[in-house]
């Protein structure tokens, strides 16, 4: 199978960002750079936790939230980048 698939990652946080959301965002970006070397393409989007559309889609959540491929995988805690790398590899398999 080719690894051409693009993984969609969303980070839902508070705007203006709180320190924990910021840390999550950085770790996710690092993870994306890491997996890029392995041929996995991932795009990251920042979403605002207070936006109505976000809440309609993901419900009331506790920030920070990481959504991978449309599924909420992490809620209310700061994941380290290794954890995100693992998640991305799993999806891209």
Positions in the binding site for other proteins (CB under 8 A): 14, 18-21, 49-50, 52, 55-63, 67, 70-79, 83, 87
Q: Tokens 């954890």 map to which residue?
A: 83
Nearer to other proteins by Cβ, of 18 and 44: the residue is 18
**Contact, 75 vs 65, CB < 8 A?**
yes
- To the nearest whole angstrom, how small is the minimum distance from the Cβ of residue 57 to other proteins? 5
Nearer to other proteins by Cβ, of 7 and 49: the residue is 49
- To the nearest whole angstrom, how small is the minimum distance from the Cβ of residue 89 to other proteins? 13
Burial of 2 (0-12, 13-18, 19+ CB in 10 A): exposed
Nearer to other proteins by Cβ, of 42 and 74: the residue is 74
């Amino acid at each position: 199978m080719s690894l051409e698939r693009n993984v969609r990652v969303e980070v839902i946080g508070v705007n203006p960002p709180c320190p924990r959301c910021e840390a999550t965002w950085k770790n996710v970006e690092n993870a994306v750079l890491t997996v890029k070397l392995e041929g996995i393409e991932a795009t990251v989007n920042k979403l605002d936790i207070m936006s109505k559309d976000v809440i309609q889609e993901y419900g009331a959540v506790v920030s920070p939230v990481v959504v991978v491929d449309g599924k909420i995988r992490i809620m209310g805690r700061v994941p380290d980048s290794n954890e995100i790398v693992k998640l991305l590899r799993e999806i891209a398999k």
